[in-house]
Chain A
Amino acid sequence: MLVTALLSGLVLGGTYALVAMGLTLQYGIARIMNLAYGEMIISAAFLAYVLYADAGINPVVGLLIAAPAGFLLGYVVYGVMMRPLVARAKDKASLEIDSILATFGLLFVIQGVLLVIFGANFTSYNYLNVAVDVFGTNIAANRLLALVMALVLGGGLYMLLTRTLWGTALRAVAVAPASAPLVGINVDKAARMAFALGGALAAAGGVVISMYQTFTATSGVVFTMKALIVVIMGGVGNILGALSAGLILGLVETFVATYIDPGLTLAATYGIFLAILLWRPAGLFGRASR
């Protein structure tokens, strides 16, 4: 029972982590609080659905189409919508407020377009819904894929950010956007790259989630909320933080559902969120100075 709960929890947490990593990049490095993040996830989910149901393209291949498309969308959105805001922002706080307002509008634009194209119906399809035996527990292959992707992407991005010059530049922008240009870093380019990468991660998450979760054109906000909790719990801008916070949430939910009562999962989620913020106000991996 314990092993089953542990594995189910990790797999659920993998989904949460996968969803949150893109947002932490966008918020932490590009300093854009993207409220339309969930809509980007849902757009990718619909893309995967259309590719699979109408064109017969398998969602794993769909992933290879959706992730670059998400990158491109992020790149364009930053260039067209966010850059003017960044340019005129006097300080961090005003950029945050402006970006929240702008992406709040973007949320409704994307949602409206999805509603017009797909209507408001529940959309779902089955893919890779087969059991994989892990230590004697049956785990759905599609959910396992989400966990593996979260770990691989999370680990890979962490290495990129900490071990390469390019990653160091991105982190410099996150820590001190005003000072970064002094050492020859193109802040605009770095922020744009981070935002676009966040878009690619959102799209990848959307494709994987569409394999096992029912979605509608208006369910993006649910993902934004969940991602926001994970991002704040893990420490804004920290990939490893998002990964561990996501896994913790998944484990807590599953253990509460298994050993206490499934009705308390939501309460447990917010309980652990509160506890971590009381203990570390900047999040698990956050820096107090920020």
Chain B
Amino acid sequence: MKTFQRRHVLRTTAAVLALAVTDLGTFALAQDKTSVRFGYAISKTGPNAGGAGITTLPNYQLWVKDVNDAGGLEMPDGKKLPIEVIEYDDRSSSEEVVRAVERLATQDQVDFILAPWGTGFNLAVAPLFDRYGYPQLAVSAVTDKAPDFVQRWKKSYWMLGGGHDYAKALAAILADASKAGTINNKVAMISVADGFGIDLVTAARPAFEEAGIELVYDKTYPVGTSDFSPMINEASASGADTFVAFSYPPDTFALTQQSQVANFNPKVLYLGVGTGFPIYGKNNGDNATGIMSLGGIDPNNQENAAYRKRHEEVTGVAPDYWGSVITYASLQMLQEAIKRKGLDREAVSAELSTGTFQTVLGETKLEENQLRKLWWTGQWQNGQFVGVAPSDRDGASKIVLPRQAWTK
């Protein structure tokens, strides 16, 4: 009997103590919350670091600095809390990004998690964001499946469109130019045999066919290809006025250089990721003029211009002309939603879905958890990469075709 009693006492004490501790815990959380914790896993090393280091990471850093310089993140009661950041390097490995996000949710117990870079990585972590109830603002993810994903993961937001959007916009431009007699209806197309290239090329083939455009050369090449002269020579001999490459940044740079050497002058030159990088304009100067790609900006949008200037001043690098500004806008949306609803992730997510926000993009509103007001095609004009399609959108620049020949 005695032992039983002692055990009983011990058990009760333990229970009371535990209760007291948890109570103290919640008390401390509610009253003394001195900062808001944001966490993210990003590719700081490995093959994805180049892309993440341009589009995503500088914007996360810029935004945190902007918010903290302004006194912190504003809560509904007007109180401002500084942002505390927990950052993990996913080393460009999808296992690592999943592990890091899980850790942020369970061990670090951050208030919000920012999305990783890349389509594949955002898909890899989407179930985790969903399970732990975090809103996921996936910016650097291009996917046609977004309408399905928002059904499956209610708190996921997809902000860069899908391959079909970009392919259809390009097909429409080519069909119009061909009808106007500016170019013939033949296209030579190459694509990288990896995520981005496969997505875009599978969308482009039917889109071109529908628009009455003939594909006279259609090849894929492996990641890491450095010499494109065989493909350029074939494309040049194919008689096509249009050359399209759904390429990765190193390929985009190499294609530009090697087309100049081969004196390959298609009337329409459309290249993939990397065309919208500031270094592309810097390296190619006037020769960039007329080259098209995905994305773009409205050159007359003052807020965007101010953002670009501040981005360069604070982070030391210029933003790209595609996903950068959207990454920053997504953070502003989150900031505003928190200001309206506090740190309740359910309420913030609902606000993100339905609210209208003032961001560097202007007035921003999601449709079915997707950002649809985007530039599907852009073109280098006067040293800036400007949006040309959809041509009926406010701020669209007029497309200039054919592009000039390379100057040497």
A residues at B contact (CB < 8 Å): 1, 4-5, 8, 11-12, 15, 111, 115, 119-126, 129-131, 138-140, 212-214, 216-218, 222, 250, 253-254, 257-258, 261-263, 265-266
Given A214-B253, A258-B230, 12 further pairs, Cβ under 8 A: A8-B233, A121-B53, A122-B253, A122-B274, A124-B250, A124-B283, A129-B257, A130-B261, A212-B257, A213-B254, A218-B49, A265-B225
Considering the complex, which residues of chain B in the window 255-294 have a beta carbon less than 8 Å from any beta carbon of chain A? 257-258, 260-263, 274, 277, 279, 283-284
CB of A146 to closest CB in B, whole Å: 11
A258 touches B233 (CB 8 A): yes
A216 touches B229 (CB 8 A): no
A-chain residues with CB within 8 Å of residue B261 when the two chains form the complex: 129-131, 138-140
CB of B408 to closest CB in A, whole Å: 7
A120 touches B53 (CB 8 A): yes
| B49 in complex: contacting residue of A120, A212, A250, A266, CB < 8 Å | A120
- If A214-B254, A254-B227 touch, whether A126 touches B221 (CB-CB below 8 Å) is no
- If A138-B263, A263-B220 touch, whether A121 touches B254 (CB-CB below 8 Å) is no
B45 touches A115 (CB 8 A): yes
What are 18 of the A-B contact pairs (CB < 8 Å)? A4-B229, A12-B227, A15-B226, A119-B317, A120-B49, A120-B52, A121-B279, A121-B317, A122-B54, A126-B257, A131-B261, A213-B250, A214-B250, A222-B224, A254-B229, A257-B221, A265-B221, A266-B222
Most A C-beta atoms less than 10 A away, residue of B193, B221, B261: B261
The A contact surface, by secondary structure, is mixed
A218 touches B249 (CB 8 A): no
| B283 in complex: contacting residue of A15, A125, A217, A254, CB < 8 Å | A125
- Interface range on chain B (Cβ under 8 Å from partner): 35 or more
Docked complex Cα distance between A5 and B231 (Å): 11
| B230 in complex: contacting residue of A121, A218, A257, CB < 8 Å | A257
Docked complex Cα distance between A216 and B284 (Å): 19
A-chain residues with CB within 8 Å of residue B257 when the two chains form the complex: 126, 129, 140, 212
Docked complex Cα distance between A131 and B257 (Å): 10
Considering the complex, which residues of chain B in the window 216-247 have a beta carbon less than 8 Å from any beta carbon of chain A? 219-222, 224-227, 229-231, 233-234
- If A262-B190, A266-B222 touch, whether A5 touches B230 (CB-CB below 8 Å) is yes
Q: Does B44 contact A (CB under 8 A)?
A: yes
A119 touches B262 (CB 8 A): no
Most A C-beta atoms less than 10 A away, residue of B226, B254, B258, B277: B226
B-chain residues with CB within 8 Å of residue A139 when the two chains form the complex: 261
Shortest Cβ distance from B227 into A: residue = A12
Docked complex Cα distance between A115 and B46 (Å): 11
Docked complex Cα distance between A126 and B50 (Å): 19
Q: Does B147 contact A (CB under 8 A)?
A: no
CB of A207 to closest CB in B, whole Å: 16
Q: Does B362 contact A (CB under 8 A)?
A: no
A262 touches B225 (CB 8 A): yes
- If A218-B45, A263-B220 touch, whether A126 touches B283 (CB-CB below 8 Å) is yes
Most B C-beta atoms less than 10 A away, residue of A111, A129, A139, A253: A129
A121 touches B231 (CB 8 A): no
A-chain residues with CB within 8 Å of residue B127 when the two chains form the complex: none
B-chain residues with CB within 8 Å of residue A262 when the two chains form the complex: 190, 219-222, 225, 230-231
B49 touches A130 (CB 8 A): no
Shortest Cβ distance from B258 into A: residue = A140
Q: Does B76 contact A (CB under 8 A)?
A: no
Docked complex Cα distance between A5 and B261 (Å): 15
Q: Does B195 contact A (CB under 8 A)?
A: no
Considering the complex, which residues of chain B in the window 25-68 have a beta carbon less than 8 Å from any beta carbon of chain A? 43-47, 49-50, 52-54
A218 touches B46 (CB 8 A): yes
Shortest Cβ distance from A126 into B: residue = B283
| B193 in complex: contacting residue of A121, A122, A263, CB < 8 Å | A263
Docked complex Cα distance between A8 and B231 (Å): 11
Most B C-beta atoms less than 10 A away, residue of A5, A115, A122, A125: A122
A-chain residues with CB within 8 Å of residue B283 when the two chains form the complex: 124-126
A-chain residues with CB within 8 Å of residue B220 when the two chains form the complex: 262-263
B227 touches A8 (CB 8 A): yes
Shortest Cβ distance from B234 into A: residue = A258
B-chain residues with CB within 8 Å of residue A126 when the two chains form the complex: 257, 283-284
Mask, B201-226, CB within 8 Å of A = 1, is 00000000000000000011110111
- If A122-B250, A130-B408, A213-B254 touch, whether A4 touches B221 (CB-CB below 8 Å) is no
A-chain residues with CB within 8 Å of residue B224 when the two chains form the complex: 222, 266
| A115 in complex: contacting residue of B44, B234, B250, CB < 8 Å | B44
Docked complex Cα distance between A213 and B260 (Å): 15
B-chain residues with CB within 8 Å of residue A123 when the two chains form the complex: 279
B45 touches A257 (CB 8 A): no
CB of B223 to closest CB in A, whole Å: 9
B-chain residues with CB within 8 Å of residue A261 when the two chains form the complex: 219
Shortest Cβ distance from A8 into B: residue = B229
Shortest Cβ distance from A139 into B: residue = B261
